[in-house]
Amino acid sequence: MEKIHKCVIIGSGPAGYTAAVYASRANLEPVLYTGPEPGGQLMITTDVENYPGYPEGVMGPQMMEDFKKQAVRFGTVVHLEKIEKVDFTGPVHKIWTEAGQEIQAHSIIISTGASAKWLGMESEQRLMNKGVSACAVCDGFFYKGLEVAVVGGGDTAAEEAQYLAKLCPKVHLLVRRDEMRASKIMQQRVVNTPNIEVHWNTETEEILGKEEVEGMRVKNNVTGEVKDIPIKGFFVAIGHTPNTKIFGDWLDKDETGYLKTVPGRSLTNIEGVFASGDAQDKIYRQAVTAAGTGCMAALDAERYLTEKEII
């Protein structure tokens, strides 16, 4: 018979590896499947200066290597594979790798993260981390004293624009319609911040710059007017997509696909299945908060396995 693992972790960002550290130290012998982007979103960032414990900052990929080493040190088995299918019918949960291998586990910790949405321009891809970012809290500090732009009209864009307005002399907010989707209070704050200029009905044609961002070409989609604006930072805040598709209807999700958990806990609607990190958090989305919820998920899994007398 197939071995039934005590604990399987899906995903390898800060949430997954933190869950792995806790689960392995609690003797749950966790097996972790990294997913298609081992290390998660931090692999596409450069300096991380806001993770406690790294007073000089750390490169995102280095930090994820450190997370992994710590998990492996206590016995976590890491597989560089993607999980493609799940079946949460029975008390023993089943998941399948892309190669079709079936894995069984008494508890599953989900930490599959979320992916930022991008505009899809060549210049955006080319200038990624050279002025183009999807996280003002992570990268805003590097643009202190410089002019920047934020794209989007939702709560994230409003929040990022306000965050940047405290660091930068001028923030251009590019909204593609004549109104914002953001909550009224957030919109008011944006409009009342003197150094945020909202460009209504405005879309980005191109991000300008060879080696780093030097400006942007924007078009008013009502008047047709095109203009170049010099900026140093270009923040894309048009939403994230949680990587939760494979859980289909098994797990309760909100209208945008984020996994629902019991407030203040990591429990999902299925016994023995726990959710952590950005797959269940659309508000904070920080490495440190993801790590915190990864810890919660491992502690909840341990408690569950104890209650069921599996360990």
Element (H, E) at 148: strand 148-151
Nearer to ligand NDP, 21 or 136 (CB): 136
Q: Is 138 noted as a catalytic residue in this protein?
A: yes
Q: Which amino acid is at 159?
A: E
The CB-side HSE value for 102 (13 A sphere, CA atoms) comes to 10
User: Given its phi and psi angles, is residue 61 left (phi above 0), alpha (psi -120 to 50 degrees) or beta?
Assistant: alpha
Stretch that binds ligand NDP, among 108-116, 150-158, 213-221, 288-296 (CB under 6 A): 150-158
* CB 27 within 8 Å of CB 311: yes
Asked if 72 touches ligand NDP (CB under 6 A), the answer is no
As a residue count, the chain comes to 311
Closest residue to ligand NDP, based on beta-carbon distance: 154
Nearer to ligand NDP, 254 or 307 (CB): 254
Q: CA 11 to CA 302: how far, in whole Å?
A: 18
Angle between helices 14-25 and 287-307 (to 10 degrees): 40
Asked if 209 touches ligand NDP (CB under 6 A), the answer is no
Work out the number of other CB atoms within 10 angstroms of the CB of residue 185: 10
Nearer to ligand NDP, 153 or 215 (CB): 153
**Out of 34, 45, 133, 156, the residue judged to bind ligand NDP by CB under 6 A:** 156
Q: Is 300 noted as a catalytic residue in this protein?
A: no
Nearer to ligand NDP, 145 or 263 (CB): 263
Of residues 212-241, those binding ligand NDP (CB under 6 A): 238-240
Asked if 300 touches ligand NDP (CB under 6 A), the answer is no
Q: Is 135 noted as a catalytic residue in this protein?
A: yes
Which residues are annotated as catalytic?
Answer: 135, 138-139
